Structure 1
Amino acid sequence: MRVVWSFHHLILDGWSLFHVLSDVFAGHARITGAPGADDSLTARPDRRPYRDYVAWLRERDTVEAEQHWRDRLLGLSETTPLPYDREPRESHRAESTDAVRVTVPEVTSRALEDLARAEGLTVNTLVQGAWAVLLSRQAGRADVVFGTTVSGRPPELPGAEDMAGLFISTLPTRVAVAGEGTLLDWLRDLQRGQSEDRRFDHVPLTRMKAFTELPERAALFDSIVVFENYPVDDDLAAAHGCD
């Protein structure tokens, strides 16, 4: 039997999908007594309900959060353009798309990981720094903005990492690409800024845009960087007796 399961992104994100599948497979193993399923895997974990996250959101200090984004987006009057080979169509009406897949060689990947570890950085920061430099050079601007997708799971909410629901959000990342100073110092500043931004990731993008000088129909950003590191277990089904 083959099961195809679809869901709307409004109710679930990639991190949560792993938890939901884990619960479903555990339930299947428990009901069927599937051979090969470890007893320790059939127990359903006690996850905090999503309503606890909603309650946490309602308790946030909106004044402090909005002031952060006012300061962050002060004076922003233009969207950083993403280089294109034809005039862009009106929003959501593009008729052609393409995907380019690039695999980073293992030696390069290890070198980036070693650099990040040695300098107290994350690989995500290195990727964002590279994208910021590319946008700056292509657009001819020292001040660039792009979107960054974050997990949205507050570390101060116990059990948030095991909850199921929609948590992710995309934040505007504003970067000053200056020609002075060292690369590592610039990357550390970028990482610190990102860390501070994530403290206020619950502010809606529509609200953030109100703090800019962008025209009404202009977007906050034309490109986003998504660095996925949520848990994935390719052997999950087999471990629960669902080959």
Structure 2
Amino acid sequence: VLQTQTNAYTLLLSFHHIIMDGWCLGIVMDELFAAYEALKAGKPVQLPTPQPYTGYARWLDKQDKETAKEYWRSILNGYDQPAVLPTLPVAHPLQADTGYLLHEHKIALTDETTCQLRTVAERNGTTLSSLFLAAWGVVLGGYNQSEDVVFGTVVSGRPPELEGVEQMLGLFINT
């Protein structure tokens, strides 16, 4: 908590993504503001009983790993071409081993373009994130001269069958 004026404060809340996922921020903020309001009103702080993350760990441990492996083997059966990005000649000798030279390009989309992209996503019953992942697949396919590419991404998800999962704090990501 930082005092920014005589009677004004700024609360900085920071966490590393390896500790908890984005969903957790809403849980933490709800409890933080509930505690703040209770204290401000001179009332005792009453927060819900926390759902232990160990419940998720136990659920995860019970998953049939062989069935999962078999599922992905069947999905990826026959796929043997790694999706790669083209390498470019390097100007700096220290980067000659990897063929990689870091460049950063920032592109700002206009409000109109963003609105159009959202419309396309909504019409197709998907999210902007899925739309961008599809575009990335098309780009990879072009680079690899293939209509079939495989790439991974990190996702966050909570198993709906796990009781109390909506209120658990922790890391619920998968790659």
TM-score higher than 0.5: yes
Deviation at 1:47, TM superposition (A): 4.2
- Kindly indicate whether the alpha-carbon contact (under 8 Å) linking 1:47 and 1:159 is maintained by their aligned counterparts in 2: no
Higher relative CO (CA 8 A, sep ≥ 6), structure 1 or 2?
1
Q: CA–CA distance in 1 between the matches of 2:105 and 2:23?
A: 24
Deviation string 1:101-159 (CA, Å, 9 cap, x unpaired) is 33322222222322333333333332221111111112323332222221131122243
Q: CA–CA distance in 2 between the matches of 1:84 and 1:27?
A: 54
**1:26 maps onto 2:26 in alignment:** no
Q: What is the TM-score normalised by the length of structure 1?
A: 0.53
Q: CA–CA distance in 1 between the matches of 2:151 and 2:97?
A: 17
Question: Given the superposition, is the C-alpha separation of residues 98 and 49 from structure 1 closer, same or farther in structure 2, using an over 3 Å criterion?
Answer: farther
Q: CA–CA distance in 2 between the matches of 1:102 and 1:22?
A: 34
Deviation at 1:43, TM superposition (A): 5.1
**1:149 maps onto 2:154 in alignment:** yes
Q: CA–CA distance in 2 between the matches of 1:74 and 1:6?
A: 43
Deviation string 1:170-207 (CA, Å, 9 cap, x unpaired) is 2xxxxxxxxxxxxxxxxxxxxxxxxxxxxxxxxxxxxx
Choose which of 71, 76, 84 in structure 2 pairs with 1:73. Answer: 76
Question: Given the superposition, is the C-alpha separation of residues 157 and 30 from structure 1 closer, same or farther in structure 2, using an over 3 Å criterion?
Answer: same
Unaligned runs of 5+ in 1: 171-243
1:82 is matched with 85
Q: What is the TM-score normalised by the length of structure 2?
A: 0.70
**1:121 maps onto 2:144 in alignment:** no
Identity among equivalent positions (%) equals 37
1:55 is matched with 58
Give the secondary structure class of the aligned counterpart of 1:26.
Answer: helix
Deviation at 1:7, TM superposition (A): 4.1
1:17 is matched with 25
1:49 aligned partner, one-letter code: P
1:141 aligned partner, one-letter code: S
1:13 aligned partner, one-letter code: D
Give the secondary structure class of the aligned counterpart of 1:72.
Answer: helix
Give the secondary structure class of the aligned counterpart of 2:152.
Answer: strand
1:206 is matched with none
Unaligned runs of 5+ in 2: 3-10, 91-95
Choose which of 106, 119, 132 in structure 2 pairs with 1:101. Answer: 106
